[in-house]
Amino acid sequence: MLTRFISDQNLPDFMQKLRKFGGIEGPLRGEDGGVRFGNLSDGTTPDIHAIRTLLPAKKYLFAPEERLFNYTLQEGYKILLEDISPVTLFALHPCELAGINYLDRLLGGDAPDPHYAARRSQITLIGISCLPDEFCSCHISPSPLQALSDIFMNIVEGGFVVTVYSSRGKEIMEDMKDLAEERELPVPQDARRFFGVSLPLNVMSEIDTGLPEWQKLADRCLGCGACSLCCPTCACFNILEFAGLDGVSSERIRYWDNCLFKSHSMVAGGAVFNKGRAERFIYRYRHKQRGFGPLRGVPSCVGCGRCRAFCPIGLDLRVLTELLERSAV
């Protein structure tokens, strides 16, 4: 495969040229030490070695709060689609690419969610290689995930080996001719891959909901929501409608939701279908490791390690996986 090499020295110029294709959002380390995806304006330096951002790039495709419709007497419910400018998401780890790929399957497809599709169509993905830390649960083997990006950059001595995977990526790299040397280079093996692709068979078997460990985990869970907010593939949403002060109009807003909240399974009249936190844990586990509905059988844990890293008490899905692997033996 034809690859290109961009040297470390040329990276700022590469970024500068990249801005021509739209705003760049990438990992930035704040003064407080936190790493967040943010605007890489001229003069900012992305932290390309950061292991994980507080929120995944999901926030660009599926906003935490999004106006979906407004209602007026004349037009009824009218879909609100703001003009979205092109955005390049820079330095996405393979687990981020896997997360976006999952969201594409959930919210894209033949009859896509219109708000998701509008954002997605404006987004260019530039992946980057990385090294796992103790929270990551992606396994070590070659990865098909690079191909989910438009451009993938493997970090090597002195620069980046750049591979192009889409026509959009090709168009961008055409413009970088003076910065990128074209040469045949071996594409380094990615140290990561989508954790979910080859779960051990016993984990894919039916979940033993009778294990006492569920309750033990549930007793400790604070219900703070951190695990799902920071999960690249958690996309449960709630929709609320708010009436305007004119007594006629209203707006309908979508919010990120969380399966560990009681309201998640509550219906009119107050019945709650996942009453206890243990049941909600099972629900969450089932969704992450086995999928449901059209994505039945598609695990959605990408192994990014955020849920464990950010859980105030250190719970995560890997604990559950290990637990189930043990119990299935």
From the list 121-129, 155-163, 257-265, 318-326, the region that binds other proteins by CB under 8 A is 257-265
Q: Are 81 and 69 in contact (CB under 8 A)?
A: no
- Regarding 212 and contact with other proteins (CB under 8 A), the answer is no
Q: Using alpha carbons only, how large is the chain's radius of gyration in Å? A: 21
Number of residues interacting with other proteins: please give it, by CB under 8 A: 80
Task: Specify the residue, 140 or 248, whose C-beta has the smaller distance to other proteins.
Answer: 248
- Regarding 111 and contact with other proteins (CB under 8 A), the answer is yes
- Regarding 113 and contact with other proteins (CB under 8 A), the answer is yes
- Regarding 292 and contact with other proteins (CB under 8 A), the answer is yes
From the list 39-47, 126-134, 154-162, 223-231, the region that binds other proteins by CB under 8 A is 223-231
Phi and psi at 66, nearest 5°, equal -145, 130
From the list 16-24, 118-126, 266-274, 317-325, the region that binds other proteins by CB under 8 A is 266-274
Minimal distance, residue 259 CB to other proteins, in Å: 7
Q: How does DSSP assign 14-65, residue by residue?
A: HHHHHGGGSEEEEEEE-TTS-EEEEE--TT----TT-S--SS-THHHHS-SE
Q: Which residues are within 8 A (CB) of 193 and not within 5 positions of it... i.e. 6 or more apart?
A: 94, 138, 139, 141, 142, 143, 144, 145
* Residues 58, 46: Cα–Cα separation, whole Å: 18
- Regarding 107 and contact with other proteins (CB under 8 A), the answer is yes
- Regarding 216 and contact with other proteins (CB under 8 A), the answer is no
Minimal distance, residue 324 CB to other proteins, in Å: 14
* Residues 107, 115: Cα–Cα separation, whole Å: 9
| Closest listed residue to residue 236, CA positions, set 131, 103, 327 | 103
Minimal distance, residue 169 CB to other proteins, in Å: 28
Q: Which residues are within 8 A (CB) of 111 and not within 5 positions of it... i.e. 6 or more apart?
A: none
| Closest listed residue to residue 299, CA positions, set 314, 309, 287 | 287
Return the residue of 51, 92, 106, 164 that touches other proteins, per CB under 8 A: 106
- Regarding 304 and contact with other proteins (CB under 8 A), the answer is no
Return the residue of 12, 188, 200, 312 that touches other proteins, per CB under 8 A: 312
Residues 58-97 binding other proteins (CB under 8 A) are 64, 69, 71, 73, 76-77, 79
Task: Specify the residue, 187 or 319, whose C-beta has the smaller distance to other proteins.
Answer: 319
Minimal distance, residue 152 CB to other proteins, in Å: 26
Return the residue of 8, 171, 182, 241 that touches other proteins, per CB under 8 A: 241
* Residues 48, 9: Cα–Cα separation, whole Å: 14
Return the residue of 10, 88, 124, 258 that touches other proteins, per CB under 8 A: 258
- Regarding 142 and contact with other proteins (CB under 8 A), the answer is no
Q: Which residues are within 8 A (CB) of 73 and not within 5 positions of it... i.e. 6 or more apart?
A: 248, 249
Minimal distance, residue 223 CB to other proteins, in Å: 6
* Residues 285, 11: Cα–Cα separation, whole Å: 41
- Regarding 287 and contact with other proteins (CB under 8 A), the answer is yes
| Closest listed residue to residue 55, CA positions, set 25, 79, 82 | 25
